[in-house]
Chains A and B, each alone.
Chain A
């Protein structure tokens, strides 16, 4: 597609439920990134994919967070047993995967845990 597409754009969920957030990167981009942005704060790196493998998972905050990528395309970020502190905007980004390449961001998925 023309840009990075994320869904849902907004999600309200009850504490303890699982959520799945989807990212469709720009066609041909081998690198895919997930970031979290809490209200009024900067961007927090979560995970990076090169192709379908994730060489850098260092930012995942707990074992309740997981992500996968299939077909070197779509990625899903799953949050199990959501907590209120998980409320944030989850931003997906993609790039051609070589140093210095521009990383393009989606509009984000706004998650509210009530």
Chain B
């Protein structure tokens, strides 16, 4: 069984500051890992994904994430926060083996950006 833990249900940063959203996963097989963003009253939009190629993955809107197998982590970062980054962020894991390929999500982290 796979699972995802997102540390911190709420994170606040100042505009221009570093954004760091933490994600740890548990999977019995090599995982595929995803970060999605959800703006208020909207569906989920893919930010980036890791599928066993480069361990540092670059996504949209200046976000990136690094897969660290030894730490079972896939933390999301952005060097400089913008007001438009305020949203909820979800980390998700998918089984790379045979299966339903459905995503198991973390509980989400709500990011606030302070002017």
Contacts and interface: CB of A to CB of B under 8 A. Distances in A.
B43 A45 contact: no
A55 B102 CA distance: 11
A100 interface: yes
Given A56-B99, A100-B94, 17 more contacts: A41-B108, A42-B105, A42-B108, A43-B90, A45-B102, A56-B100, A56-B102, A91-B44, A93-B44, A97-B101, A99-B95, A100-B52, A100-B96, A101-B101, A104-B46, A105-B43, A107-B43
A43 B105 contact: yes
Given A100-B51, A104-B46, A42 B32 contact: no
Given A91-B44, A105-B43, A107-B42, A99 B32 contact: yes
Contacts of B95: 99
Nearest to A106: B43
Nearest to A31: B101
A25 interface: no
A41 B94 CA distance: 19
A42 B52 CA distance: 25
B90 A42 contact: yes
A96 B52 CA distance: 18
Given A91-B44, A108-B43, A41 B101 contact: no
Given A100-B49, A105-B44, A108-B43, A42 B107 contact: yes
A28 B53 CA distance: 25
A23 to B, nearest CB: 12
Interface of A: 4, 31, 33, 35, 41-43, 45, 48, 50, 55-56, 91, 93, 95, 97-108
Contacts of B107: 41-42
A99 B34 CA distance: 12
Given A42-B108, A91-B44, A105-B44, A99 B103 contact: no
19 contacts: A31-B101, A33-B103, A41-B108, A43-B90, A43-B103, A45-B103, A45-B104, A48-B102, A56-B100, A99-B32, A99-B51, A99-B94, A99-B95, A100-B49, A100-B96, A101-B101, A102-B46, A105-B43, A107-B43
